[in-house]
Amino acid sequence: MLPFLNRELKTILKDTDFLYWWNPGNKYRVIQRAFNVGDILSAYIVWHVMREKNEKLKVDKKMLAIGSILDNASDGDVIWGSGYNSNKQDTDYNFTQLDVRAVRGPLTKMFLENRGIYVPEVFGDPGLLSSKYFAASEVKDIEYLMIPHYNEDKHKFNAEFILETKGSVPKFMSQIVRTKKVISSSLHGLIIAESFGIPAVLLKDNNGEGIEKYQDYYLGSGRSDFPVCTSLNEALSVTPSSLPDVNKIQQRLLNSFPSS
């Protein structure tokens, strides 16, 4: 474990060492000082659910939760809310059997079923549990926050209020809960905002990300229609999608959590 990690994060990563979450350059070990919030959030959420249930997991191999990370799955792995990555080739997926408890949405369900994997009708991204484990704020003193995808240059958006996804999860949460609206090219910028009941709009730029993962999330949270904006000005003026039934999704995620 690296010395720059704070005590809480060291504990979280130690207690969830069975969990795979995407970290560039290395499949299982922590190598960065600045994490992508949408990825390391997986460890925070799984850890908090474990504490809430006061139970250990039934995981013989590894577990995958938040993210478009199914290309990192192997036979026997436990899937809880993960999604497929449309940018990957079919040959990047090297499994024939998975223990699927929940998936991000129906597109992931269809993808896995086409490979002969049984998938229950349980949809939801575990990032929607953020509002259960991080404090909300009654103060809304930020008009909007632009949240760029982790591989985008924040300066290209020319936004007055920018929240990057590289850094501390608690700090990220403490900022996003104060805003009135989120505009995001990061999927988990949208998901975290909606978890707290904050209206959110997708800004789809040329960041190399396919539209499918966004569609998968929206469909999995009960919405077939959502605005896709191509400029900040458009996103500021458009009416956001209706918010999902967060409580319902949270409950089905908790019910499907692979604990004893």
Q: What is the pLDDT of residue 1?
A: 40
pLDDT at 82: 99
- State the CATH number of the domain containing residue 219: 3.40.50
Same domain for 166 and 122, yes or no, is no
13 with 98, same domain: the answer is yes
Q: Do 154 and 77 belong together in one domain?
A: no
188 and 121 co-located in one domain: no
- Answer whether residue 1 is part of any domain: no
Residue 188 inside a domain? The answer is yes
pLDDT of residue 209: 75
One digit per residue, the tens of pLDDT, for the chain of length 260 reads 444 568 999 999 999 999 999 886 444 444 455 689 999 999 999 999 999 988 777 677 899 999 999 999 999 999 999 999 999 999 999 999 999 999 999 999 999 999 999 999 999 999 999 999 999 999 999 999 999 988 766 666 767 899 999 889 999 999 999 999 999 999 999 999 999 999 999 999 776 678 999 999 999 999 999 999 999 999 999 999 999 999 999 999 999 999 75
Domain enclosing residue 34, as ranges: 7-128+249-256
Looking at the structure, tell me whether residues 11 and 124 fall in a common domain. Answer: yes
Contacts of 125 (CB under 8 A, 6+ apart): 66, 81, 83, 104, 105, 188, 191, 217, 220, 221
Q: Residue 260: what pLDDT?
A: 58
Q: Does 216 map to a domain?
A: yes
CA nearest to 44, candidates 63, 68, 19: 19
Residues contacting 127, CB < 8 A, separation 6+: 38, 41, 45, 66, 188, 191, 192, 195
Query: Does one domain contain both 139 and 71?
Result: no
Strand ranges, E, within 37-184: 63-64, 78-82, 99-103, 145-147, 182-184
Residues 69 and 181 in one domain: no
One domain, residues 186 and 224: yes
Q: How would you class 89 by CB atoms within 10 Å of its CB: exposed for 0-12, middle for 13-18, buried for 19 or more?
A: exposed
Q: Whole-model pTM above 0.75?
A: yes
111 domain residue, yes or no: yes
Residue with tokens 């919405």: 223
In a domain, 2, yes or no: no
Task: Mark whether 232 and 186 lie in a shared domain.
Answer: yes
In a domain? residue 77: yes
Residue 175 has a pLDDT of 97
137: exposed, middle or buried (Cβ count in 10 Å: 0-12, 13-18, 19+): middle
240: in domain = yes
d(CA 29, CA 171): 23
At residue 24, the pLDDT reads 65
Same domain, 237 and 204: yes
Q: Do residues 92 and 135 both lie within one domain? A: no
As for how many domains the chain has, the answer is: 2
Do 65 and 137 sit in the same domain of this protein?
Answer: no
In a domain, 39, yes or no: yes
Q: What is the pLDDT of residue 57?
A: 73
